[in-house]
Structures are given as C-alpha cells and as structure tokens.
Structure 1
Amino acid sequence: MADVKNGAQHIASLKDGRQVYLDGTLVSDVTTHPAFRGAVASAANFYDIQSKPENIDWMTFDCGGGRRVSRAWEMPRSYEQLVSRRKSLSAWAASSCGFIGRSPDHVASCMIGQVMAGDVFENYSPARAKALRDYVAEATRNDWFLTYVIINPQADKSKGWGEQAEPDLSARIVDEDAEGITIRGGKMLGTSAIMANEVLVASLQPLRPGEEDLAFSCCLPMNAKGLKVLSRKSYEAHAVSEWDNPLSSRFDENDAVLWFEDVKVPWERVFVHRNTDMCRAMFHDTWAHTMQNYQAQIRLVEKLRFLTGLARRVTETIGTVNMPPVRDALGKLAAQTAMVEAMLHGMEASGSQQGEWFVPNKHMMYSAQVITQTLYPEIANIVRELSGGGLIMLPSSAADYGNDEMARIIRTTQQSPAAGSDEKVKFMKLAWDAVGSEFASRHLQYEMFYAGANFVTRGHSFRTYDWARATAMVDDLMASYDRPAMAPIQWRAA
C-alpha cells in the first residue's frame, strides 16, 4: 500500500480549530459548514485522484523513504520531467474544470521555485536559506495545501504602504526576539485559505526604503494563534442545489482577508526579514514567479477548454450550431483555446536548463498572461452571446418541479432539438453558473487581476523580452546598405 495523502486525510487536517468568520459568526468546522463543505470536498478530491492506484505512479513522486507526494512539489530536472509534472497538474485542473484557481499546486510551485534558485537566498542570508529549504522539505513530505497572502489591503493608492493613516492596515513586524518575529495587520487575497493547511505571508507589491517592518516572508499554519480569516460572501452558501448551481456549489474556493493579531512566527519559518529588495527578489530573481504562473496557465488551459465545450453544447441545445455566423464564433473560440495551449507547450519546449533544474520560458509565460487577461472576458462574453435569452429564461429552482402545474408549463416552454426539456434546463443552469452568475462574475475579476493589472503583466513582458535580438535584426539590415552617391534627379515637365 503506497504511502500517499488522500482526501479523507486532507479533510481531517482541516479540523484544527482555525478561526474562520462568515456573516459575523465563527465557523466551528469548515469541512461541514454549508458555506464551505462543497469546496472542501473538491479540494479533498485532488488528493483522492492522486491516491488512486492507477494514478499514483504518474501523479506522485517518491520524496524519500517510500513517501509519495503530489508532483506539484517536484523540482523538474529535465524537459521530460517538466512535461510529466504538467500532465499531473492538468489532471487536477480538469477535475474542477479549471475553476479552483488556488489549488494545492499553485503555491507549491511558488515555493519550489524559490528553492530552485537557492543561491539568491544563500547570498542574502544562509540562515534564512536554510529555513526555506527545511520548510519546503517539511511541506513536501506532508503534501500540504498552501495558500498565500502577498497583497496588502487596498487603501490610498497615492501613498506608500508605510504612509497609510491606519498603521495596522498591512501586516508588519511589531516585535522580535530570540524565538522569532511578531506580526500584526491584514493581508489579502486569501484564496482557498479556508481549506489550506498553511499560508505563505509575503509582499509581492514593491516596498520602499523605510518600509522594512512590512518586508518579511514567512509560513504559518492556518490555525496559528491570533490568525483570523474573514471570509467574503460564500456563493456556495447561496447555491440552491447542485442541480441549480453545479459550479458554485462545488468550486467556490473562497477569498478572505487574513488578520494577524500579534501572531508569533518562529525563526525557522521566517525566510525574509526586514529587507525590501529581498521581498522583490524572492519572486523575481528566483523561479517562484515563473513556476506559480506557469501553473496558472496549465489550469487556465483546462478552464478555456471547458468554456469552449460549453459554447458548443449551447449551440447544439438551441439549434444554432450549423448557422455560419455561429460556426464562425465557435471556430474563433477553438482557435483561441488552442493558441493558449500552444503557448503552454511553447513555454516548455523553449525552456532552459538552469543549473540542475529545467524551467519554462519566462517571457512566453508572461506573454500568455498578457493575452489571457483580455481573452478570458472575451470568451465568456462569446458564450453569453451564443446563449441569448436562454440563460435568463430558467425556472427559479428545482423546487418549481415540485408543483405539477409549474412543471407542465416548464416542460412546455423549455424546448430543444438536441435534449429533453429537463436536460435543457439542467444544462442552461450550468452555463449560467459559468458565465452569468455572481460566482461567474468573481471568476471574471479573478482571471483579469490575479496576476496583477494589465500594465503589470505587460511590464513583465517588456522586461523579459529579448529586445537585443529583435533590434539587432533591424540594425543588421540597416548595416547591409549605404546611401548611394547620386546626382540630383532632373524631372521633365509633362
């Protein structure tokens, strides 16, 4: 029997006394609460998938002593290993149709990316480098589900974080001693925090000199003393049934503000300490930012594939699939989805050996982000356009069928050339949950901004593009010809 984490073990690990608040109330158990239990079950399913006997060999790896863990924690040493790792991550993403953005493989990818450029940490501080290596080894062996909070709460964007009116707005170091640091303040966006084991606390946003109190990186268990999780509205809690809301009832990963009320962090869990430049370097001078966003593109490919399939089913359901304008739209969707998948393969094929590790192409990854930030809203809108009023003209809930007269009217007015009345309603409710519901609106915002605003991702693209090669082509061509010596041209009058 393989020693590998399964879903039941993950659910049990969440019964740890964590402080999650929803609607003004402390949630006693996120695994059974109606606002979270569906998402928790979906998270557990990731581990159930990898622990199936037929999946263990290709979805997990031996991290030592016969212990097998998710390939999310595997640091690829070759192109082939990078691809095999991606196939495992794709299987996880497909199980949620790409709707769980902060799945366990996201922050795991960030953490291994830091270790893969260990010299960056070693040059900064051998003690902090050892803390990072030891922590990642522990997280790997336990196959922990990590989330992160690396953004400060919004306030006055015209001012620096150290200039805000409320000193406790952003998590900062308020004390330290021989045992560790003490932090106080808020951080966001704690996506999937309610179902994670641990949280990485750091600052992706640039910090200025003088903001050293905010300049730290550490990892904490989600039940750390003084850590409070303030959940946003739960779409799962407002899902009438799985039939009415098949996506939001299962895949509402949740987002939250994490509040640190004088939380003590031992030194062995502190990776950056009062260093503003290292807060930047831990993401951008290592492979962390590349690996975590490469994972995001793996997930997004599965999500776009789902939406493209959804669009096709919409047109079959309402009988428009053979209309030339509709086929034009579907052909465009198919090409766009294939383009993103091709870019994913391109990141791998043009990857490079960096010491003992093989990493995806950083610029191609950023290029994909730039394109998909605007592509996702476009694709979602095409699905809405293809669906028309059918997305809105739906029964209020499955309870309508409990009234025989209403059920008769529904079956009379919900017609389709490709499906029965009940099946049409079931499908259109799925389509609405994917592109029209409040859950869908949150996903639109997520895909547009999880990597930063457009100018941020375009800045990454500008910074990483091989401008020297591109401009050299221009310069070489110009150098291949000279201005000829010519006498003035005498033009004859007509």
Structure 2
Amino acid sequence: MSAGKAYLDRLNDGRRVWLDGGIVPDIRSDPAFRGTVRSVAAILDLQDNAATESQVTFVTDTGAKANIAYLIPESKDDLFRRSRGLQIWSDATFGVMSRVGGFYRTQLTCWYIARNLIRGEQPYFPQKMADYYAFVRDNDLLLTAAGHDPQIDRTKLAHELGDLYTALRIVRETADGIIVRGAKMIATGAPYMDEIIVSPHSKKTNDEQRYAVMFAVPVSYPGVHLICRESFASNRKEDHPLSSRFDEMDAVLVFDDALIPWERVFIKDDPEAIWSIRSDRLGKALSLHENIVRLTSKLEFTAAVGTELAESIGIRKFAHVQEKLAELYFQLESIRALLVSAEHRATLHPLGVWEPMLEPIVTAKNLGNRYYPRALEILQQLSGAGMLQVPSTIAELNGPLGLHLQKVYRGADRDAEERVKLLKLSWELVGSRLGARHELYERFYAGDPVRTYAGQYVEYDKQHLLEKAGRRTG
C-alpha cells in the first residue's frame, strides 16, 4: 500500500472536525477539504516514487523506511541530505503548506535528541519521548501542534482570569492519566494530520502550573474537537489553482474533559521544563532550518510568477520593472545564501548531531517576515489592475463570446487562456482569501516580529563588534 493510500485510509477515524456549525462526516469527500486531502496524499506518495524515494526518505536502524524529517543529522552530509529532501517536499506545494512539510516532525526529532536534558521533576520524559518519536516515525504519521491560549485579555495571566479563562489546563488526575479542559490555538493543518502535540508556546509562571502541560493525542481522540475557520477551498481547480489544492486550514482545539493517558503525558506542572525544551538552541536551529527551506520554495514561486507577469504583457524592458523583478530575485538569493551559510557553518553539538548555525537562520526567518508581504506588493505593482480584468471562469474563453475574448485577453507572448490562467494564479497569491491568510501567516508564524527582531538583538554575540570598534577608536 502506498503512503498516500495509507494516509487516506487513516482519515476514516471519526475525528470531530467542526465547520459551519456541524461535524464534517468525512473530510475525504467534503468539498471544503477533499482537494487538500488529495494533495496531501499525492505528496506522501513521493516517498514511494522511484525518482524521489531515496531523497525524501531514509532507512532507520530497524530497517524501516521513514520520512527525511525524522533523520538525525549525525554527519554534515546528513544535514545536507535533510535539506535536499525537505526542499523536494516544500516544492511540491510551492511552499504554501507549512505543516504537511517537516516542521513539527523536525521539532519532535529535536525533542527526541535532547530528551535526556529534561529530567529532575520529569524523570519519565526521556523514555516517553523516545517511544513517541519511534511510534510517529515508524508509522509515517503527520504531526502538528497547538500552543497559544485564546486571546481574551492579554494583560492578565491564565490563573488571574478564573472562570472567564478557557485556556487548556489540568482539572484533575486519575490512575489512568490527566483530565484536561479548555482550548488551544492555533493548530494549522490539524484536520489533515494524524497527531497533535499540545504545550504552551509562551512561558508559564509558577502560579500557572496546571497550564504547564505537554502531551500528544491522535486527532480523533475522544473529547477533542477541532473548530475550523471558514474554508478558503474552491472546487474550481482551473480557476483557483491554489485554493482548490492547498487550503491548509487552521483550527482551534477544544478539549472537553479529555482523559490523556500517562504514557502520552510528557510534562506536567512544570513551567521550567516545558520552557527548557521549547527554547533549546538545537531544537530552534533544526526546526527553523526546515522553515527556511520552505521559505525558499515560496519566494522562488513568487519570483517565478512575477517574471511571468512581466513577460506576459511585454514590460520586462522597462527599468522600473527590472528593478522590481531584481528585488524578488535578491529576496530569494538572500534567503538561499543564508540557508547555505547556516548549513556549511554547522557545528557538532555535544549530543553528537550537527547543528546548523542559528544566526543565519534567525536572520532569514526575520527577513522573511518582511520579504513575503513585499513580494506580494511587487506582484500587485507588476499587474496593476490586470488581475481584476479577467473573466469569472476560464471556460468563458470558449463560450459564446469566445472569439472576442480570445483577442481581449491575449498577452504579448501567449494566448488568452495562458494569460488568464497566470492572472488567476497571481490573484490567488495576492488577493484571494487564501492569499490574505498566507500573508498573515508569514508575518506572524514565528511570533510577533517586534519581539523576534528584539530577540535577535539580545541573543546576538556583540562582543567581537564592541572589541573591533574599541580597537579602532581607542
């Protein structure tokens, strides 16, 4: 059975995916989900394709085949191999699906590598994490996470809001596990996943111990509800080439007194332990490495679309157009250079794995917050009102007015159908609901850009700069 077929079979598990006020009986056939489901299955089949199998998978120590995101980089070549495999994975969706890629699978791999650093009050963490890593890896499961608390009153901590607050917390413990109640945001891609890891993304205080819990559950777990945003999917693949295939969906998780078995509870009542594992430098470096690989796919795609827009209406010879296109290219090449720099300047971590250099990766991530919105702005400037001057469907070009429309919508170097397809693709990136979601995502997926920029300043090794300035002025 292919990886894609196995995935489709797994989705028939009774998961409680809520959309438009009701539970979706089967996301494989529902119009809001089926296009993306098919895309995910096709991407997973890359693992069984003779042309890509060796690049997107590896053989484990037990002889099983596993996704490249679970590969532990025990050599520098392993790090390069991860990068190549993740690039193929990202290119398959043009970088617009972040969680079907390897981000949280990479993060889980990092937690497995660093599992023995979390002991003390959490003595069972190393073995539980080792077991969970092997389970997810060997069963080729897709993984996402949820860690943000509902936005109710951000001037107060969780325990200060009392009954008003609905953030996930432990309400009691039993011999079988913990009972959790409340919500977590925002589980990107959750309806399509197999597993969800839940833990706070922000640091909890000692007064919030009941909120400081880290565990994993199957998406279909009893007492777990996925509350989806409005669907951005389309059933018109030709007119909406991205929305019909890659609406990743975002969901809020609601836990209705769900019993989490002890073997699935990794950390509880320990804010410091959770913060330690979440802020570990190795974990940050490897997981962000995957993010930047995906970002290069996305920027390459926007640069390609921009180039085609200019070609299609014969404006590439104008200097101001060349300037805009060059900006798209240096966005791409800057991020790609930072990625290569991080990989080639990797160092051997004390745990015996190769760690990509963090500073170039963080720089690329922070630049991406600004680059992608700017890339969309350039596409708007290149097209002008062109994206709005297209027929509602491509099929109209062959309708009653087809002979006239073929002349009206033709381009400088292509026929009307090819140009209209390009304009519709451009609109998907720039003006559609899916496009607006992606712009918001790229701005905030790694946190508030103000804080991430400030964090880079705080963490940057400035001593050599101060010494250099002192030598020159002293």
Residue 273 of structure 1 aligns with which residue? 268
Partner of 1:488: none
Deviations 1:99-144 (A, max 9, x none): 1011241100111111222232235522122111111111111111
Aligned to 2:256: 261
Q: d(CA) in 2 for partners of 1:430 and 1:204? A: 34
Alpha carbons of 1:247 and 1:467: their partners in 2 closer, same or farther (altered >3 Å)? same
Q: Does 2:86 correspond to 1:89? A: yes
Aligned to 2:389: 393
Q: 1:28 maps to which residue?
A: 25
Give the TM-score of the pair, scaled to structure 1: 0.92
User: 1:347 aligns to what?
Assistant: 342
Q: Answer yes or no: is the 8 Å Cα contact 2:158–2:165 preserved in 1.
A: no
Secondary structure of 2:145 counterpart: strand
After the TM superposition, list the runs of 4 or more consecutive aligned residues in structure 1 that deviate by more than 3 angstroms: 165-168, 398-403, 475-478
Confirm or deny: 8 A CA contact 1:97 1:302 kept in the other structure.
Answer: yes
**Distance in structure 1 (CA, Å) of the matches to 2:465 and 2:259:** 50
Aligned to 1:44: 41
Alignment match of 1:121 (pick from 118, 121, 136): 118
Distance 1:263 1:338, change over 3 A: same
How far apart are the structure 1 equivalents of 2:11 and 2:208? 34
Letter in 2 for 1:92: W
Please give the per-residue CA displacement for 1:42-68, whole angstroms capped at 9, x wherever unaligned: 111221012112322222111243310
Residue in 2 aligned with 1:184?
181
> In structure 1, what is the Cα distance between the partners aligned to 2:101 and 2:156?
34
Alignment of 1:357-436 (within 5 A): 357-398=353-394, 400-401=396-397, 403-405=399-401, 407-436=402-431
Code of the residue aligned with 1:86 in structure 2: it is S
TM-score (norm 2): 0.96
How far off its partner does 1:443 sit?
0.2
What are the residue-to-residue correspondences of 1:45-444 with 2, within 5 Å?
45-123=42-120, 125-164=122-161, 166-236=163-233, 239-285=234-280, 287-355=282-350, 356-398=352-394, 400-401=396-397, 403-405=399-401, 407-444=402-439
Match for residue 468 of structure 1 among 463, 467, 471? 463
In structure 1, distance between residues paired with 2:256 and 2:160 = 21
1:76-101 per-residue CA deviation (whole Å, 9 max, x = no partner) reads 11221101111000001000000101
On the 8 A contact 2:181/2:256 being kept in 1, the answer is: yes
Distance of 1:431 and 1:110 partners within structure 2: 33
- Bigger drift between 349-358 and 247-256 goes to 349-358
Name the SS of the counterpart of 1:248 in structure 2.
coil
Q: Distance in 2 between matches of 1:42 and 1:461?
A: 36
Alignment: residue pair count: 473
- Contact kept? 2:200, 2:212, Cα under 8 Å: yes
Deviation at 1:286, TM superposition (A): 5.3
Distance in 2 between residues matched to 1:432 and 1:448, nearest whole Å: 19
SS at match of 1:188: strand
How far apart in 2 are the matches of 1:351 and 1:122?
27
1:144-172 Cα shifts (integer Å, max 9, x gaps)? 10010011111111111222354552111
d(CA) in 2 for partners of 1:29 and 1:459?
44
Query: What is the one-letter code of the residue matched to 1:82?
Result: L
Give 3-state SS (helix, strand or coil) of 1:246's partner.
coil
Deviations 1:405-456 (CA, angstroms, capped at 9, x unpaired): 3x34422321211110111111110111111111100000000000001122
Residue segments in structure 2 that go unaligned for 5+ positions in a row? none
Tell me which moved more, 252-261 or 321-330.
Answer: 321-330
CA distance in 2, matches of 1:278, 1:127: 12
Inter-partner Cα distance in structure 2 for 1:223 and 1:322: 55
Give the Cα–Cα distance (whole angstroms) in 2 for the partners of residues 70 and 278 of structure 1: 28
State the distance in 1 between where 2:283 and 2:34 align.
Answer: 31
Between the aligned partners of 1:357 and 1:200, the Cα distance in structure 2 is 24
Counterpart AA for 1:440: G
Highest CA radius of gyration, 1 or 2?
1
**2:317 partner letter:** N
Structure 1: give runs of 5+ residues left out of the alignment: 482-494
Q: How much is the aligned-residue C-alpha RMSD, in angstroms?
A: 1.6
